[in-house]
Amino acid sequence: MNKNILVFIPNTLKRNKTGYLKGCYRKFEDCEAFYITDEVILNSCKQCIGYIGKSFKNFKCKENHFLFLNNSNSNCKILVNNGDYGGRSVIDIIYDYHGFKNSDIICREGDSYGKHFKFIAEELRKSNLDGLKINGRKSFLASTALIIIFILNVILKVLNILKPMLQYSATFLHFENNALNLRWFLEEIVGKKKLSPKTGNMLVAKIVDLVIGIVLLNWFLRYESSILNFIETIIEDIITNLKGLLLYLMGSPIGLKLNHSFNNTLGKFFFYHISLWRVFLQGTEPLLRAYFKYLVLPGALGFSFQTAMFSDIVSIATFHVYCIYVYAARLFLLQIRGLASLWRLFIGRKLNPLRERVDSCKYTPDQLFIGTLGFTILLFLLPTTAMYYTVFTTFRLAIILANGLLLRAIFLLNTLPLYVLVLWIFNSSSVAGTVYITWRNDEDTEKVVVEAKLNPLPLTNSIKKFVPDSVGSVEGKSYSYILHSMFTGMLL
């Protein structure tokens, strides 16, 4: 069975010249393929697969399989051991040279484009990298990038050691993520030796981040006293309003009949905690005013750092609210589990922790009396605990929502698609990824000629595909986990 012969010709090939053609030959089960991978016609070439000219009578090919392209009538002939094939179907495929050479999508997702187009993209990428080598030695910039990557690896190892202590700080985590992003950026530049849409997107986003951060830093330093007074006023208002809320809960909120003694005890305990936190903030206020310039100085690294620092400020300013939430949640969890355990006493069951199951059990009258007494106490104290737990769980959810919005703002700053948007607007081949194939019958030679062109992806697909690899998605807690934690008293 005769196999079809596919000849892939770049659309930049100049047919009016004479010389050797650079490329390679591949043999498959269903076809044989000749790939011309250079737009330049060479006088001599080590990796040549053919020759272009008016005649091949005086031309001796060194390879077993060789391609001759007639520049007078554009006919292709295949030579095997210096002889003509004869009786074989040759299909010319004119492909978009610059599109396949510059497209970053095909090199990453080549399997979905077929073996031929994937192979062409890889060969063009190799030739592009080979052309950037300088006498086989690494350039000064590449050496500098490798040194920076080594330093970043050391920094990341130190940060990994400190992570158990500082993992709750948004500023620390953002600094670690920036170190990872910078390492990935340098590795991509050194490996690909060009600015790909992903690396360009990160670079432009970081420049915008730095510009906004420096502008805001100058504004912070100019209005230092006003900002400090504003922060002090906000914290004082939070503490005052929280005390007013506790006074309201210690009464009869919305007409609820609560346990007066237990309610009064919880209210005073939480009052003491708020007062203690207020004393701590008043003690740190002189330090904040004295070292405010140094505290906002990391904002010079970008607006995303200022956002992360603001997230930490929100967590510190509302730490007393979190502590009260923890107390109320633990007390609520203790009562819920106590009621569940004592309920099993009434039905003659008990939990077997060794076998992780519920077994039957016969209780004595004394055990039933004590269990009934304990169940009654916990049941009548539960509404008071549930009231505090519901109120401060709402505050906790509001704080989680605020921090989640700040984290998403940081994510958007790191993935701002300005570079990809510019490439897409100017119809750049770097964001090309949609292959359009058309064919026509050549009336003169009576053979099929196929044209393969690359067009840019839709804008939304381009933005999704060119998100930097080092930037992960924002991982938040699922709604099912939040609901389960709310009704069971688990900490959020």
pLDDT band at 134 (very low <50, low <70, confident <90, very high): very low
- Type of residue numbered 248: Y
State pTM to two decimals.
Answer: 0.76
Is 80 part of a structural domain of the chain?
A: yes
Torsions phi, psi of 202, nearest 5?
-65, -40
pLDDT > 70 fraction of the chain, expressed in percent and rounded: 85
- Sheet-wide strand order for 31-36: 83-84, 76-80, 65-70, 48-53, 19-27, 31-36, 4-10, 90-95, 447-456, 432-442
Give the Cα separation of 126 and 140 in Å (integer): 21
Is 334 part of a structural domain of the chain?
A: yes
Same domain, 223 and 76: no
Range of the domain at 337: 219-416+484-488
Give the orientation angle of helix 170-192 with respect to helix 365-414, to 10 degrees.
Answer: 40
Is 358 part of a structural domain of the chain?
A: yes
Same domain, 373 and 264: yes
Q: What domain count does the chain have?
A: 2
pLDDT of residue 17 exceeding 80, the answer is no
pLDDT of residue 132 exceeding 50, the answer is no
Give the Cα separation of 86 and 52 in Å (integer): 19
pLDDT of residue 136 exceeding 50, the answer is no
Give the orientation angle of helix 260-290 with respect to helix 319-346, to 10 degrees.
Answer: 150
pLDDT digits (tens, 9 = 90+) for 99-128: 888 777 776 665 666 778 878 887 887 765
pLDDT of residue 433 exceeding 80, the answer is no
Mean pLDDT of 177-195: 83
Pairing relationship of beta strands 357-360 and 4-10 according to DSSP bridges: unpaired
Give the Cα separation of 81 and 77 in Å (integer): 13
Range in 31-40, 368-377, 472-481 with the lowest mean pLDDT: 472-481
pLDDT of amino acid 455: 79
Query: How many helices and strands, by DSSP H and E, does the chain display?
Result: 15, 12
pLDDT of residue 456 exceeding 50, the answer is yes
DSSP 87: S
Of 420, 418, 414, the closest CA to residue 197 belongs to 420
pLDDT of residue 439 exceeding 60, the answer is yes
Of 13, 97, 7, the closest CA to residue 52 belongs to 13
pLDDT band at 368 (very low <50, low <70, confident <90, very high): confident
Same domain, 126 and 250: no
Is 188 part of a structural domain of the chain?
A: no
Residue 324: count of CB within 10 angstroms of its CB: 24
Same domain, 110 and 228: no
| Among 96, 131, 166, residue at a domain's last position | 131
Give the Cα separation of 34 and 50 in Å (integer): 9
Same domain, 267 and 387: yes
Is 314 part of a structural domain of the chain?
A: yes
Same domain, 303 and 401: yes
Is 308 part of a structural domain of the chain?
A: yes
Range in 78-92, 296-310, 383-397 with the lowest mean pLDDT: 78-92
Task: Note whether 205 and 335 are within 8 A (CB).
Answer: no
Mean pLDDT of 39-63: 65
Give the Cα separation of 110 and 168 in Å (integer): 41
DSSP assignment of 183-221:
HHHHHHHHHHSS--HHHHHHHHHHHHHHHHHHHHHHHHH
Mean pLDDT of 423-444: 76
Same domain, 114 and 259: no
Of 300, 101, 125, the closest CA to residue 218 belongs to 300
pLDDT of amino acid 425: 86
Same domain, 113 and 226: no
Tokens for 31, please give them. Answer: 């076809």
Same domain, 125 and 257: no
Same domain, 228 and 100: no
| Among 131, 152, 183, residue at a domain's last position | 131
Distance from the Cα of residue 143 to its chain's centroid? 28
Mean pLDDT of 406-413: 87
pLDDT of amino acid 446: 59
Mean pLDDT of 325-334: 92
Sequence-distant (6+) residues with CB within 8 A of 349 are 358, 359, 360, 361
Give the orientation angle of helix 365-414 with respect to helix 319-346, to 10 degrees.
Answer: 140
Is 299 part of a structural domain of the chain?
A: yes
Mean pLDDT of the chain, nearest integer: 80
pLDDT band at 135 (very low <50, low <70, confident <90, very high): very low
pLDDT digits (tens, 9 = 90+) for 206-260: 999 999 999 999 998 888 888 888 888 888 888 888 888 888 888 878 777 788 8
Same domain, 398 and 285: yes
Q: Which long-range contacts (CB under 8 A, 24 or more apart) does 144-147 make?
A: 145/186, 145/189, 145/190, 146/190
| Among 84, 100, 131, residue at a domain's last position | 131
Total number of residues shown for the chain: 492
Whose tokens are 């609520």? That residue is 332
Same domain, 247 and 391: yes
Is 270 part of a structural domain of the chain?
A: yes
pLDDT of residue 58 exceeding 80, the answer is no
Listed in sequence order, the DSSP H helices in 364-417 are 365-414
